[in-house]
Each structure stands twice: as structure tokens, then as C-alpha cells.
Chain A
Amino acid sequence: MYDLPNVTRHTSRTLPLAMVIIASAMLAACGRNASADAAAQGREVYSACAPCHGERGEGWREVGAPALGGMPAWYIEEELREFRSGIRGAHPDDVGGMRMRPMVRGLMTDDATKAVSLYAASLPAVQHPVTVEGSAEAGQKIYEGCAACHGESGAGNEDMKSAPVTGMEDWYLELQLKNFRDRVRGYHPDDPAGTMMQSAMEGVTDQQIRDVVAYIRTLK
């Protein structure tokens, strides 16, 4: 038989101590920086992205994963939103997109999407190798048509949801431009920016795509 009064006395001594510890922990949690929390969450979620996009966001061409380092957070978040909702990556010919879409759909909430976008955007931009041959001179002329939305410097425009093309790898640019042209991307009724891009790409030849990619590569 155990001694009930003793237990009661024991509890009455330890309870206030426990309360102080719990209260201190709660205060400490409240005092933490909210953005630090988001960064920690972003890093955690990014562990699912790293196998393809690289620990440092450097990308991996062989699996169709573009580099993320140096991309603005709004752009990454927007693309993730499109993958999640099926606006992007649900076409039978979009091999890379279909690989990406289930990953996004299965792993993320709105908060996680935002956090991982911020984290990926914080990764360093890297110099990409030249993999697409084209004439930057010819491309410059073609780019005049693109500059209205994507900017002279190719920095993109958040309000118009036009992608920041500077800093993207050339193979990725070429592939996506072809996807828009071939209606593998930008076909969804809920994707006005994509639709606009698709009509802009109508009738553009492979050579013209390579040329404009070569020109975009020269932009800083």
C-alpha cells in the first residue's frame, strides 16, 4: 500500500516548479522570431526538394530539376501553387512537370509552400554552363517582344506573373519555351499568364528559341 498523503505532499512541491518550467518554455517560444521559424520550416520542407534540386539549389539537369538559387521567392511560390492546383505539370507530355507535381501535391500546405519558397530563394545563385547554342544577336531582336513583360533586364514582373528569366539555366528556358509553344504548358483556363505566354510563342521556331535563350544568357 502506498502512502497517499505523501504523494499529495510530493505533488504540491513539484507542481509549481513544473508550471514555472512550462511557462518559461512558452514565453521563450513566443519570444522567438517568426521569420526564423519560417526559415527553419522552409529548410525542413526543402529536404524533400534537395534530392533533385540539390542541397544548395544548384539543380540537376538529368532529372529535369532546374536550379532554384537566386530565383525570387514570389516566383518559386507561384510555380509551386500552379503545380499544386494542377495548372502546371498535368500534361501527358510534360515529363519534368509530372515528376514535380506529385511531390508538391503530396507534401505541402500554404504555409509550407511560402516557407520553402523563401528558403529556396535564399540559396546562392550559381553560374550555369552553356548548353544551348544560338545567336544572341538574332535573339536580341526577338527578345524585344518579350521585354514588355519580362523586362529589359529579364528580371520578370511579380504583378504580371512574368517569370524572371535572367539566372535560369539555358536548357530549362529552352524546354519551357518549347512547352509553351507546343501547348504542354499554359493551356489551363486558370492560368492567364501561361495562356498569354502560349499565344506569344505561337509559331516560334526551334532556332528562334535557341537564339532568344542565347540572348537571355547575356542579360545580367
Chain B
Amino acid sequence: MLEYYLNSASSYARSVDHVILLIAAIVGFWFLVAEAVLFGLIFKYRHREGQASQFVSGEEKHLKRWVSKPHQIVIACDILIIAAATWVWVDVKQSLPAADRTIRVIGQQFSWIFQDPGPDGKLDTPDDIRTVDEIHVKVDTTYHFEAQSRDVVHSFAVPSFRLKQDTVPGRTITGWFRATRTGTYDIQCTQMCGIGHALMAGRIIVDTPQEHAAWVERGGSLPGAQTKSVAAADPDQHRTDIRSALNNKAEVRP
């Protein structure tokens, strides 16, 4: 049923959903019980002709039970929820499965910058592919991401992956995901970061291995489209060119 209503495209999306479902079921059940008791008592002790009202202090043992028993049940349910949530938290946030590929995610007001390691698979080498607001990843591949920020706190959130990670200036926070379904998914900043926060969106495109290889081959550009990705990825090649050109010119200048 969940699959029908919720788009999920990562290996841990379902376990996050299950925690939410567990909480909804427990809270929902006790909500219904509490409402039934409330309305049942209202009905049972409704106004009747000739019957005087009585003052109930709630101090007797058999009355206190109405508070203490539900209290104990709530605590037991809390422990159950915390245990389930911790189980998922450890899987999503505390453990770091070995990476097949590592990308960098940099937040800045009000755009996302991505750095893919390019053909050599290593970050911070000249063949890296840098894009703005759009990143391609390979399906069924474990990615590490290094989340950074250029200015203020942002949050890299991919709802379909059930992934949410703050990016904090001055820190590199490593996380992981494994996309399980091809397609295009939304990215939205989920940490109030300034006037353009609501407009700080992006796309994560999950490719088949062939599509991804072709994307890497093209240096990140989209086929035939003069998009921001083309613009973002290409100039870096030129940058190296122009730097060497400038160095050469500097040598001939007096």
C-alpha cells in the first residue's frame, strides 16, 4: 500500500517509511481507544432526571488506574518506537557501507553545486564534473556524499530517498545513499537559509549504468541541450586552458 502512495527510490526509504507507519499505527490505535473511552464515559454518565451529580477527586486507587495504566502503556510504546527508530537511524546515519562512488554536495544561497569524480572515479582531479542544481547518479550503486556549505546552514533533502542531511559551513559531513530506481527526483533545501530558501531546489537523476557512463563520457552535459549542466561542466576545462594561457602570457610580459 505504501508503495502506491509514496515514491521511494533508495535502499533505506522503505525502512524509514516503516518507522513512520509503526508510529502512525501505535498512535492511531491509542487515539481511537482514548476517543472511545472519552465518548463512552460521556454517554454513560450523561444527564438523567433525578440523579444528582457527584464530585470525583480521582485519589482512590481504582480511579488512579485510569491515569497510571495508560501512562505505562505509553512508555512501553515509546520504547518500542525509539527502538525501531534507532535501528533505522543506525542503518541510515551511523553506519557507512563501502562506497562505489563518492560525490560532493555543496550548498550555497540558493543553489546546489555537485561534484562528480568523473571518469577516473577520484574527487578533486581535473576530470571532475561540476554541475549546478542537477546531478546524475548510477542506480544500485552505493554513493558517499560529502556535504558542505559555502555560506549558511542548508539541508540536502531528497524526499524520494528519505534522505536529509544538513550542510554546515566549515564542516564536511559524509553520508550515503543507494538509489534503487531510475528516474528524476526532487532535491529541496530543508533548512531555512535566507530569502531564496524556497527556491533552492534541484534534481537528482538516477541513471542506468549505461546512461551514467554516457553522461560521464559527455562530461556531464545533457544530450543536445544547452542547459546549465553543460555550462557548469564545460568551463572547468577552459579554466585550466585559460590559466595556462595566462601563465604563458605572464612570462612574455616585461
A contact set with B: CB distance below 8 Å: 48, 51-52, 86, 90-92, 95, 98-99, 101-103, 105-107, 181-184, 187-190, 202-203, 205
Contacts and interface: CB of A to CB of B under 8 A. Distances in A.
B131 interface: yes
B206 to A, nearest CB: 22
B195 A183 contact: no
Given A99-B110, A103-B110, A203-B249, A187 B228 contact: no
B234 interface: yes
Contact of B195 (A92, A103, A188): A103
30 contacts: A52-B195, A86-B231, A90-B133, A90-B228, A90-B232, A91-B235, A92-B106, A98-B108, A98-B113, A99-B109, A99-B110, A99-B111, A102-B110, A102-B196, A102-B200, A103-B110, A103-B196, A103-B199, A105-B199, A106-B196, A106-B198, A107-B199, A182-B239, A182-B242, A183-B238, A183-B242, A189-B226, A189-B230, A202-B242, A203-B249
B150 interface: yes
A181 B253 CA distance: 18
B228 A95 contact: no
A182 B227 CA distance: 20
Interface string B124-142: 0000001111000000000
Interface of chain B, main secondary structure = mixed
Interface string B24-64: 00000000000000000000000000000000000000000
Interface of B: 106, 108-111, 113, 130-133, 150, 195-196, 198-201, 226-228, 230-232, 234-235, 238-239, 242, 245-246, 249-250, 253
Contacts of A103: 110, 195-196, 199
B195 A90 contact: no
A90 B132 contact: yes
B200 to A, nearest CB: 6
A108 to B, nearest CB: 11
Contact of A98 (B111, B235, B246): B111
Contacts of B250: 205
Contacts of A181: 242
A202 B241 CA distance: 11
Given A103-B196, A182-B242, A187 B235 contact: yes
Contacts of B232: 90-92
Residue with the highest number of chain B CB atoms closer than 10 Å, among A86, A98, A106, A187:
A98
A45 to B, nearest CB: 14
A82 B135 CA distance: 22
B142 to A, nearest CB: 25
Contacts of A190: 226
Given A107-B199, A188-B226, A189-B230, 10 more contacts: A91-B235, A98-B113, A99-B109, A103-B110, A103-B195, A182-B239, A183-B242, A184-B235, A188-B231, A190-B226
Nearest to A190: B226
Nearest to A50: B195
Residue with the highest number of chain B CB atoms closer than 10 Å, among A48, A92, A106:
A92
A99 B234 CA distance: 21
Contacts of B198: 106
